Amino acid sequence: MTEKTFSLHGAGDMDTQTLEINIGPQHPSTHGVFRMNVVLDGETIVSLKPVMGYLHRNHEQIAENMSYTGSMPYTDRLDYFNSMSNNFGYAMAVEKLANIEVPERAHYIRIIMAELTRLVNHVSVIGFLLNDLGAFFTPVLYAFREREKILDIFEEVAGARMMCNYLRFGGVKYDLSPEVLARIAGILKKFPKFLEEFETLLTKNEILCMRCQNVGVLPAELAVSASVTGPMLRASGVNYDIRKADNYSLYERFKFRVPLGQKGDVYDRYYVRILEMRESLKILEQAVKEIPAGDIMSKKMVPFLKSPRNFKPPVGEAYARVEAPKGELGYYVVSDGTAQPWRYHVRAPSFINLTILEDLCIGQKVADAIIILGSVDIVLGELDR
């Protein structure tokens, strides 16, 4: 060991050393196998380097050696909390590439699923954030109780709770039965009550306010220049929601607002998510009410369900993006006219939002770094790909 002991220079002038410490990859609060190389002065963070790649699975390369449909289930594994949104982005990219029209009902189903996913994600992220704050699992379990109800719906429509693999190019795999729609409507009735309960317990809690307010402040300029997206960007007060900016799918038909924070600290990121859930509920209510009857799959694409390797989009490239719960999730697909994409790339919001972690953490305490990481909302499956 090369550690030196403390030495005294003159009266009361203590020469202290910094302490280098690796938080992760085996740590209860790094949300997966992620490592932060932290240099501490006492408890204050002097520098922080995120180290990632422990969960690298060659996602993009695998997709380039697969049929287009074949990598749909792999997108589930990107952000394993939000498989529906991941499917959504990928399906949109390939549809753009091959010029496929999607029937209206399928659009509605996709939007319903994407918004349900947003509820699942935000509610569990807030739970995990509170866990990072040191609340002993209570908020997480309250959140998971609600999450389970939505996962039950996913299981009923897609057959899987988390790895849904539900969307197909040109539509969705299975139709929504009226019973499922009724169940979704039932959830929509109860969810606001749960949110109110959650908020009563958390939003004005003094310890939560003490810990979260003015911690990890992300200025709007930095957020924009680092191309941070999603709730994290909006908590800093930048009005940028791809559902509004791109009007993809049928989002322009729905009335909803985009909540914006002002300070950009952990508390704003927490609260913007709560407000976003309320807006998602509005979208869901409208979608469930107005969902039209009709096909769930474009006629052109039905034959390829049985023979995915015959699906060969024309030569070209396409980029499609969705407002995933974590931010802008983009898929870039290049076709050379064969059954496999020539190039496939994912713009993962977890990864890009994480790039500013050091700027947020310097000068804060160790405990703050943990909650800042929690408020960034990362999923390692997507971050490392």
Partner 1 sequence: METLDQIFVLSKKGILDFLGTFLPEWVVTLACVAITIKAIAVLGPVTMMYLTLMERKVIGRMQNRIGPNRVGKWGLLQPLADGVKMLTKEDIVPHGADAVSHFLAPILIVIPSLLAFAVIPFGRGMTPVDLNVGVLFFIAVSSTTTIAIFMASWGSRNKFSVLGGMRSAAQMISYEVPMVLSVVPVILIAGSLSTNDIVLAQAGWGGLKWFVFTPWGFFAFIIFFLCGVAECNRSPFDLPEGESEIVAGFHTEYSGMKFALFYMAEFMNSFTVSGLAATLFLGGWQGPFLPSWLWFFLKTYALIFVMIWFRGTLPRIRVDQLMGLAWKFLMPLTLVNILAAGLWYFTEGAARWLITASILAGSFWLLTKLNRGYTPEKRVYLFAE
Q: How many CA atoms are closer than 13 Å to the CA of 75, on its beta-carbon side? A: 34
CA distance 160 to 144: 17
Q: Residue 50: in which H helix or E strand, if any?
A: strand 44-51
Q: Which token pair is 209?
A: 């306010």
- CB of 254 vs partner 1, minimal distance in Å: 12
Query: Closer CB to partner 1, residue 14 or residue 293?
Result: 14
Query: Closer CB to partner 1, residue 33 or residue 163?
Result: 33
CA distance 125 to 374: 8
Query: Closer CB to partner 1, residue 43 or residue 336?
Result: 43
Reference 349, options 373, 320, 323; nearest CA is: 323
| Contact residues: partner 1, CB under 8 A | 1, 19, 21, 27-29, 40, 43, 130-138, 141-142, 145, 201, 204-211, 213-214, 237, 239, 241, 244, 257-263, 267-268, 271-272, 275, 365-368, 370
Task: Provide the CA 283 distance to its chain's centre, in angstroms.
Answer: 18
Query: Closer CB to partner 1, residue 95 or residue 328?
Result: 328
- CB of 205 vs partner 1, minimal distance in Å: 7
User: Residue 222 in contact with residue 356, Cβ under 8 Å?
Assistant: yes
Q: Which token pair is 142?
A: 């309250």
Q: Are strands 35-41 and 44-51 parallel, antiparallel or unpaired?
A: antiparallel
- CB of 247 vs partner 1, minimal distance in Å: 13
- CB of 50 vs partner 1, minimal distance in Å: 17
Query: Closer CB to partner 1, residue 79 or residue 132?
Result: 132
- CB of 31 vs partner 1, minimal distance in Å: 11
- CB of 172 vs partner 1, minimal distance in Å: 29
Query: Closer CB to partner 1, residue 214 or residue 338?
Result: 214
Reference 170, options 244, 105, 75; nearest CA is: 105
